[in-house]
Structure 1
Amino acid sequence: MTRILLYTTPYCGFCLAAKRLLGRRQLEFEEIDVESDDEKRAEMTARAGGLRTVPQIFIHGRHVGGYDELVAAERTGELEAWLAHEPPVAEVSEP
């Protein structure tokens, strides 16, 4: 299953556009609203290499960037490759 994570705010046009793009492709995603949650915004900023704008999008833990980067990845086919290559689940060894 593809794990897509979006950090957003409620009134962000680019956030809405990113959610529409993913919805058109029938992709499920988790959304974290950072508008009034300083801890989640700090988490987003750290994960996104210091970027504070929204949306910040992650696929399988890989930082995609914002809406513009999502659209560019869709146009080049890169998005499809990211969606298809879910990282392997770490195996837990028995003691």
Structure 2
Amino acid sequence: MFYRRVEVDYNQHSRVHYRNWEQMRTRWGPLNTSTLKFAAIYHAVERVPPSGSGLDDWLKAAHLAYQSQNKGVAFNLVPAWQNVCHSIAEVP
């Protein structure tokens, strides 16, 4: 089962917390939803970037758009989003 492999990998690399596979699955739902929303917003900014803007500006614009679309809640999962972006880019 996928989450059992995640449990083993996580617990081998985490020195702070032990998590079982059910905790991994439960945590993944909200993390996945938020990360996918932010990715969609970022890609929308990336497709039609404001003139003279760069990657940092796109990230700021995506943060503002995410916060305005989510009742003022800021996106705080940038490391997870970056890991997903980099892992997708590495897929052959």
* TM > 0.5 fold call: no
Instruction: Give the TM-score of the pair, scaled to structure 2.
Output: 0.29
Between Structure 1 and Structure 2, whose CA radius of gyration is higher?
2
Instruction: Give the TM-score of the pair, scaled to structure 1.
Output: 0.28
Structure number with the bigger relative contact order (C-alpha 8 A, sep ≥ 6) is: 1
Greater percentage in helix? 2
